[in-house]
Amino acid sequence: MTDAAGVGGSGVGGSGATAVLALGSNLGDRLANLRLAVELVGAVAVSGVYETDPVGGPDQDDYLNAVVLVPAAPPRTLLAVARAAEQAARRVRGVRWGPRTLDVDVIASGDVISDDPEVIIPHPRARERAFVLVPWLEVDPDAHLAGVGRVVDVLRGLDASGVRSTPLVLRP
């Protein structure tokens, strides 16, 4: 659970700056998988839930996606938190871009730019993914992708027709 300061559970701690994590699930109880991730990463802000067409990979079911803001932390710390949440949801890494119980991607962390091969920030495909940018703008309308520009401007160049808002919520 997140405490009043916005830092909780096994998530990350920080100084007030935020990082962006994208959540996705298309296996099992998709909503429960996303809710588990929200709790485990220490989210301080949570977007609505979007149903989205799969992008790339084999033929598979639609995803539920959301974006959360968490306290900023070093890239490898964010990656460790993301991987721990995936493991808690029993994610199995098989086919690249294949179906999964939970996918947690580190998208951005303030103005940090990292070329660490383990965790590139900003995420190298974030600018191509409407299923990330649409919910990100919901939780941060002034969002900026380091080295790229304003998220609202990036999104204008994408087809967002496969990103559908749902009435589902991740927090009461």
53 is catalytic: no
**Six-digit token pair at 15?**
């100084």
Q: Which position among 30, 91, 105, 129 bears the catalytic label? A: 105
Q: Indicate if the pLDDT at residue 59 is higher than 90.
A: no
Q: Which position among 35, 91, 103, 127 bears the catalytic label? A: 103
**Six-digit token pair at 158?**
């994408």
- Indicate the pLDDT class of residue 129, thresholds 50, 70 and 90: very high
Q: Tell me what the mean pLDDT of segment 101-118 comes to.
A: 92
83 is catalytic: no
Number of H helices, E strands in the chain: 4, 8
pLDDT at res. 38: 96
100 is catalytic: yes
What is the rounded CA–CA span in Å between residue 172 and residue 158?
Answer: 31
Q: Which position among 30, 100, 127, 129 bears the catalytic label? A: 100
**Six-digit token pair at 134?**
């649409």
The whole-angstrom distance between residue 96's C-alpha and the CA centroid of its chain comes to 18
Q: Indicate if the pLDDT at residue 139 is higher than 80.
A: yes
Amino acid identity of 69?
L
pLDDT at res. 100: 86
62 is catalytic: no
Which domains, and CATH codes, for the chain? 18-124 (3.30.70.560)
36-48 pLDDT tens trace: 999 999 999 999 9
Q: Indicate if the pLDDT at residue 12 is higher than 70.
A: no
Q: Which position among 90, 125, 156, 171 bears the catalytic label? A: 90
Neighbours of 80 (CB within 10 A): 16
